Amino acid sequence: MAHPITRPTLLLCTALVTLAGCAVPEGPYPSLAPRPAEKLGFDEPAVAPPAPVAPDPALDARLATNARDRAAAAQAFDQAATRAERLAAAARGAKAGSDRWLDAQTALAELDALRARHQDALGVLEDLAATRAQSLEPAYPELERALETARATSTAQTRRIDAIAASLAPAA
């Protein structure tokens, strides 16, 4: 008498035959085994350190000139800011439109003009950096340091002007 084939046995045999077909590399169908690229994972590849940037004497000369311009503008700003702070202190409590208040406001306007000199020098640095980036040249360390310094000075000047202006009575 033949042994009856049960449903679980039939399912097991079908699964084994199907899996055996996948394990055979020959045939008209591609293998379902993981490909080499699938075994790599999702980790980011290691980044190679940047190549050293070649010195650029022409750019270095422009940066030196720009640094002198920024230093002169910052010194003039600091002197005028000290004067503006003194005039603003004298104008504390004075009504808007009074002589002392107008003197302090005039000093603030002069500070804005002096800050603009420094902003112009910062703009030159930003243009140089943008030109390098558009040319797909690597960042130039001296230029990056000059930009960082100029931006910090610009922020400090703006804060100083804002503090002096805040100490004065608002315009009527």
Residue 80 lies in a domain: yes
Q: Look at residues 111, 112, 128, 122 and name the one whose alpha carbon lies nearest to residue 70.
A: 122
Residue 51 lies in a domain: no
Residue 37 lies in a domain: no
Residue 40 lies in a domain: no
Q: How many domains does the chain have?
A: 1
What is the domain-level CATH number for residue 155?
Answer: 1.10.132
Mean pLDDT of the chain: 86
Instruction: Answer whether residue 54 shows pLDDT above 70.
Output: yes
Instruction: Assign 52 a pLDDT band (cuts: 50, 70, 90).
Output: confident
Average pLDDT over residues 11-36: 69
Range of the structural domain that residue 105 is part of: 66-166
- Describe the chain by its helix, strand, coil percentages, rounded to 5: 70, 0, 30
- Indicate the pTM of the whole model: 0.68
Compute the distance between CA of residue 74 and CA of residue 68 in angstroms, rounded to an integer: 10
Residue 31 lies in a domain: no
Residue 19 lies in a domain: no
Residue 59 lies in a domain: no
